[in-house]
Structures are given as structure tokens and as C-alpha cells.
Amino acid sequence: MNKPINLLSAFFAVLLLHTGSPVQAQSAAAWQSLFNGKDFTGWGTYLVPSRSAADQTPIGLNKDPHGVFKVTDGMIHVSGQDWGGVFTEQSYGNYHLRYLVKFGKKKWAPRENAVADGGLLFHCSLPYDYGSKCWMRSIEMQIQETDIGDYHNVGAGVPLLAFTPAKDDADDVNQYNPYSPLKPTDKRVFRSGNFESKPDEWTTGELVARGADAVFIVNGFVVNRLYNIYRDDLQQQTTSGQIQFQSEGAEHFLKDIELRPVRFEQKGSPILVSTRKDIQVSDKGAQTIEIENQGEEVELIAAELIGKQLEQFDVKLPKFPLTLKKGEKLKIPVQARAGSTSGNNVKFRLETVLGPVNDFAVNLKVK
């Protein structure tokens, strides 16, 4: 039997923020803080000793003998010493989540020589020890140095993704590529590009969870898309659950964790028009993508670059989300970074909570 393919499943779902609570249209744009910056009210923990720890005494639910999760200066300090997670007590569906993350210096065996690792787990459900005996059944937006936005599967269902074979150093990997056909996979799919901040600076991560679909955003750039997360054993889509941040052998910090419900009502259609459809860029100075909204008001939450070697393009994004009313213009500077490949061509488009803006794209090409 064919599984139902759901490219915008939330249109056909009951619109929920907290499971069982109807979304009110008038509050659709309001952000709700999930972490109060003072303590872990509304959160729980589940931990196990690292496999390399000398002391293998079980830890379990809401016990943190080594202070893996601490509140410091309004931030969650994750030491990484023990493995597990800090999770919301409530479940959520149909939301836009954002958070700030920064990596520390301390690493723990068996990952003391690996890149710093963590993760955002969403659509989480029991048991607490489903993944690696310490994480809930879930889908992961990877939070790992140079890899923020990779997809990992922790048992919440198998989604459809668009990906193609690629290389990560000498390793053969799968990488998100929206030009590719959708395929189901429970294997890792790399993000489209590395849009993280410099070391010791905060990176903004975002998740749009829309029914059984999800979009991963890093510093304002869409880097991965998931469709129709589906559980064969239950014969149903996975559309909601708790939210969990991982501890996985590396120190890092989290702050400004907040979400808002996705608003599905759209009064009209935006018509975004660029003064130039094709722009050649170099490292000698910035060109400008100039966009006018000739249709109805639209809220923009991110941009996306589609192509290869995306890091060669230096795009100065505005602060998202932003509302572009009819007749208003948006100017976005862009140039090539030094050493970019002549002829490299990418497509630039803009994103709303419901997906890319229809019929809008600008081609960027390195001179």
C-alpha cells in the first residue's frame, strides 16, 4: 500500500500548538519563550553515563549528579559529560521554533577528539531511552560544529527528503538538494551548506514543524526539508511531540529558546518581483538583489540558496522574520567570496512559514 505523501500536510490537520489546544489566528505571530532563563521550570532531564565513563551507575529521569545541565547567565550550559537530554514537559505541533547555540571548549570521551556535538530532537515521544539508550523517539536537527542542520532519524518515523550523493572530505554522503526527487530515508542527510557563525559566536537555529513536514534553518538560510514523517508501525504520520536538546560529549550553550504557532491563513498572494532575474557577482564589491512586493502583504522568515558550493556566496540577509507590505521593497547585498569558482551558479529564493514564495527566484553567478 502506498503511504500518503504530504507536501503540506498541516493544511489538512487540526491546527494545534499544544496538543489538544486550538490555535487562535490573532496570536499566530506571538512568540512564546520555552526557557525562562532562571531555572528548568517546564523541562525535565534524562541521562545515562557515557559509555567510556568509569562509573556506570544508572542516572535516569530528572537526576543530574554531575550538573550536565545548568542555568548560567540566562543560558542553558550543557557540559556534555553524561549523555541524554533536557526536554519540554509539553508536546507541540505546528510551530516555528528558534534558538541560539554556541559551542564551548570542553569535550568528553569517547568524543574528546571529534567535533563538538549536540542536537535538537523534535516530535519526541516515549520511551526516554529509545535512541542510544538515552534519547526519546524523535527526529533530529543536528547541532554539531560545521554540520548544523543535518537530518538524523531517532525513530519518530521515516520522512521523504530530496537528496543526492555528495562528498564530506573522503566520505560518501547524502546531501539535501531540492532539485532531486523525494525519497524516503532513515539515514543521515547533510544540510545544503555551512551557514554557521564563526567559532565563539552564536548561531541561530530554527525549525518549522508543519504537520508531518519540517524545515531546518541556520542563520536565516534554509538548509534541509523533510516531508511526510510516517510511522509504519502505527500506520500514521508523526505531527507533534516534545522538544529535546541533547548532551552528547561536548560543552555548548543554548539561549533564547522560543516558538510560535504556524499561521495557515493567508489573506492573499504576494507577488515578489526582482529588478534583475540574473546577477553576476564577484569579490570586488557587492551587487544588490532588489525586490518589490506587488501583491498582498507577506511575512518572510528565511532565504535559500540552491546549487553547489553555496558558501562561495556572501549574502547579507535582513533580520527575519520581516513583513513586506504591498509596494514595499527589500534590498539584499550579495557578492562572491575570495577564491570562488568562476561560473558557479546558484538560485536565490525566499521562504515563508508555509514554504517558498511562489514564482520567485533570482539566479546568482560568479564572474
pLDDT digits (tens, 9 = 90+) for 165-213: 998 888 999 999 999 999 999 999 999 999 999 999 999 999 999 999 9
Whether residues 257 and 287 fall in one domain? no
Among 261, 294, 325, the domain-final residue is 261
Report the CATH number that the domain containing residue 330 is assigned in CATH.
2.60.40.10
User: Is the omega angle on the peptide bond into residue 181 within 30 degrees of 0, that is, cis?
Assistant: no
**Among candidate residues 150, 143, 127, the one with its CA nearest the CA of residue 214:** 150
Task: Flag whether 217 is in a domain.
Answer: yes
User: Which domain covers residue 287, as residue numbers?
Assistant: 272-366
Whether residues 240 and 285 fall in one domain? no
Whether residues 251 and 354 fall in one domain? no
Average pLDDT, the chain: 92
Identify the three-state secondary structure at position 86: strand
Identify the three-state secondary structure at position 277: coil
Strand partners, 332: 289
Q: How far is Cα of residue 196 from the mean position of the Cα atoms in its chain?
A: 12
Whether residues 192 and 282 fall in one domain? no
Question: Quick check: 359 pLDDT over 70?
Answer: yes
pLDDT in tens, 214-272: 999 999 999 999 999 999 999 999 999 999 999 999 999 999 999 999 988 877 799 99
Whether residues 16 and 106 fall in one domain? yes
Rounded CA separation 199/185 (Å): 32
Identify the three-state secondary structure at position 311: helix
pLDDT in tens, 4-51: 444 444 443 434 444 433 333 333 469 999 999 999 999 999 999 998
For residue 201, with 0-12 CB atoms within 10 Å meaning exposed, 13-18 middle and 19 or more buried, which class applies? exposed
Q: What is the pLDDT of residue 167?
A: 87
Considering only residues 75 and 23, tell me which one the structure prediction assigns the higher pLDDT: 75
Task: Flag whether 4 is in a domain.
Answer: no
Q: Beta strand pairing status for 362-366 and 313-315?
A: unpaired
Among 235, 261, 287, the domain-final residue is 261
Q: What is the pLDDT of residue 29?
A: 63
Whether residues 181 and 100 fall in one domain? yes
Task: Flag whether 280 is in a domain.
Answer: yes
Whether residues 195 and 308 fall in one domain? no
Whether residues 223 and 332 fall in one domain? no
Whether residues 231 and 308 fall in one domain? no
| Residue 155 cell numbers, joined | 525513530
| Residue 337 cell numbers, joined | 567570496
DSSP 35-47: --SSS-TTEEEEE
pLDDT in tens, 52-63: 998 999 999 999
Whether residues 250 and 289 fall in one domain? no
Whether residues 254 and 287 fall in one domain? no
Rounded CA separation 257/241 (Å): 16
What's the pTM value of the predicted model, to 2 decimals?
0.93
Among 211, 237, 261, the domain-final residue is 261
Q: What's the domain count of the chain?
A: 2
Q: What is the pLDDT of residue 169?
A: 85
Q: What is the pLDDT of residue 244?
A: 98
